[in-house]
Structure formats: structure tokens, C-alpha cells
Amino acid sequence: MYAQMVDTGVKQVKSLDEMDAEERAFQQKIDAEVKIEAKNWMPEGYRKTLIRQISQHAHSEVVGMLPEGNWVTRAPTFKRKLQLMAKIQDEAGHGLYLYSAMETLGADRDEEIDKLHSGKAKYSSIFNYPTLNWADMGAVGWLVDGAAIVNQVVLQRTSYGPYSRAMIRICKEESFHQRQGYEILLHMMQHGNEAQKEMVQDAINRLWWPSLMMFGPSDADSPNSAQSMAWKIKRHTNDELRQRFIDQTVPQLEFLGCTAPDPDLKWNEERGHYDFGVINWQEFYDVLKGYGPCNRERIETRRQAIDNGAWVREAAVAHANKKKQRSVA
């Protein structure tokens, strides 16, 4: 069959017998749930996978500030503006913890950021969609941070110590973000006029499917999952986490009085899970290749931010050098 001939790029995982002594000792440590720390020996593939995943995660946090930043000047009240600014600052903080965790693996922060700006590094597909109305701020908090939490709660148990510890702090903040997003939507649905209620449904219609794509390709097409699961970098597969997110989100959707843009979404008594429709994977891969609605704008904004901030970095280095010279003198 054609499907069996398609090379999904799924990497083979070595069995214990195929490993050399160092690799086997490492795998046994992982299997015994012992955390790997920065100074411990690790296979090059493990280091590279972590640098890839943590840098992409850090870039996502930083680029993820942009769709929300779009609404700071247009938040409907002073309190909403403060909440939104606090959330965006939290995302910057998450980026910083993650870049630091990545540096413990020997990666260079500037080099990794350069890869983002030159289009070589990935960041979460979700941030290539526009935020068109105020309800999008609610839907981003509820759906996007909600999906991020489902993924990140399990990463608290990831095998690499510095990543796992960064995740613990990040998850605490993400659950506040998710609740503030849901509260924005609930307020609009319970106290808003018809136009405001329509905005909520419109935001859900646009962000529902892209939120499901945040979990990555389906397991059969995920090249990295098998090895990342064996190394316990990932603790659950992409499809398992996507299903978990849908199962916990649908009752919240119903409580809002809204619907999902998926006619196939229904409870399956036998499976004990919601069934859902087919994800448009073509759209997902197009966004990954740079053809999403906002890819160019996002990267251009980040590039400008780095260029415009160059004088601050130069001044800080000049100041530090002056201080050093004075203390030597």
C-alpha cells in the first residue's frame, strides 16, 4: 500500500544490546527515573534533541508575546491591560528560564536566536495566526495556554533536571494564564451583548484547530517521538496529549455556551474519550514551512526588536568594562 511506502522519517531506537557500555549505563539511569544533570555524561543525540526542543520552546515563549502584545493598547479596561501586560511579561520570563536551561547543555544563546531570525529554527505554529478581536485574548489564554499546560505538566517529569525544574515554575504561571483567559470569555458570554458573544465564538472558530496542532504531528508521522520517549524527554506521545486536552476542554466549551468548529466532535462512550475530526495537516506543514498568515511579520518584529535594542546591549557591555577597569586600577 502507498501509505506503507511513505518515509515518515521516524528514527529507530537502539535496544540495550545494541548500545555500548556508556550508552547502556545512561539508559539504565533513565529507566530508573534518575534525573540527568548538566555535568553528567550523555549521548550526543540526547544533548542535541534537548537543545532542539528547549530552544524551540524558548523561541515559542518569546514569539508568543507578539500576538498578545498587539492588544495591550486596546484592552477594554485598565485592569484588563494590567493583567495582559503581566501575562506577557511572564512569557518573557519563561523564555529566559528556558534559554538558561538550554545553555547548561553547551548551546550558545546568541547562535540559537540567530537561527530563529534566519528562519532555521522552529517555534510553535500557533503564533503564526493573527489575533483579530479582544475575545482572542481570552481564547489564547484558555486554549493556547491550556494546550501548553497539558504538554508542560508532563514535561515537569522530563529526564533532564534543568528543563524539568524550569517547567515546574512555568506551569504555575501558565495555569493562572489559562484561568484569566477563560474568565475573559466567560465574562463576555455572561455579560456581553450579542456582538461580543459572536466575537467569542469567532475567536474559538479560528483558534480551535491551530490549538490542536500545537501537540505536533500524529504519532505515526512524528519522527522524534520514539527516541524522545525512550529517553523520557517526552513522557506522553503527541496524540495522547492532544486527546487529553480535548477531553478536558470540551466541558469548559459547553459551560461557556459555545461550540467547536468540528461536526465530528462527540463523546465516545466505548473509548471513554471524545472523538474528533481530521486535522488539516497540510495547513500545519505549510505553517511550519513559513507560509502561515503571520510568519514573516513575527520574525521581522523579532529582528527589529534585536536591532533596536543593540545600543542597550552595547551600553551595558561598555559600562561593565568600565567598572572592571576601575576595579583593576
Query: Of the ranges 77-85, 121-129, 248-256, 314-322, which one interacts with ligand BYC (CB under 6 A)?
Result: 121-129
At closest approach, how far in Å is the CB of 105 from ligand BYC? 15
At closest approach, how far in Å is the CB of 188 from ligand BYC? 19
Establish if 144 lies at the interface with ligand BYC (CB under 6 A): yes
* Choice from 138, 146, 181, 216 touching ligand BYC (CB under 6 A): 216
* Choice from 222, 243, 249, 295 touching ligand BYC (CB under 6 A): 222
* Choice from 66, 83, 91, 99 touching ligand BYC (CB under 6 A): 91
Q: Virtual CA dihedral for 18, 23, 29, 30, nearest 10 degrees?
A: -70
Establish if 243 lies at the interface with ligand BYC (CB under 6 A): no
Establish if 57 lies at the interface with ligand BYC (CB under 6 A): yes
Query: Of the ranges 215-223, 247-255, 274-282, 289-297, which one interacts with ligand BYC (CB under 6 A)?
Result: 215-223
At closest approach, how far in Å is the CB of 282 from ligand BYC? 14
* Choice from 228, 243, 249, 295 touching ligand BYC (CB under 6 A): 228
* Choice from 125, 133, 178, 295 touching ligand BYC (CB under 6 A): 125
Establish if 151 lies at the interface with ligand BYC (CB under 6 A): yes
Establish if 186 lies at the interface with ligand BYC (CB under 6 A): no
Closest CB to ligand BYC among 153 and 258?
153
Establish if 122 lies at the interface with ligand BYC (CB under 6 A): yes
Write out the residues near ligand BYC by the rule CB under 6 A. 52-53, 56-57, 60-61, 64, 91, 122, 124-125, 144-145, 148, 151, 213-217, 222-225, 228, 234, 238, 288
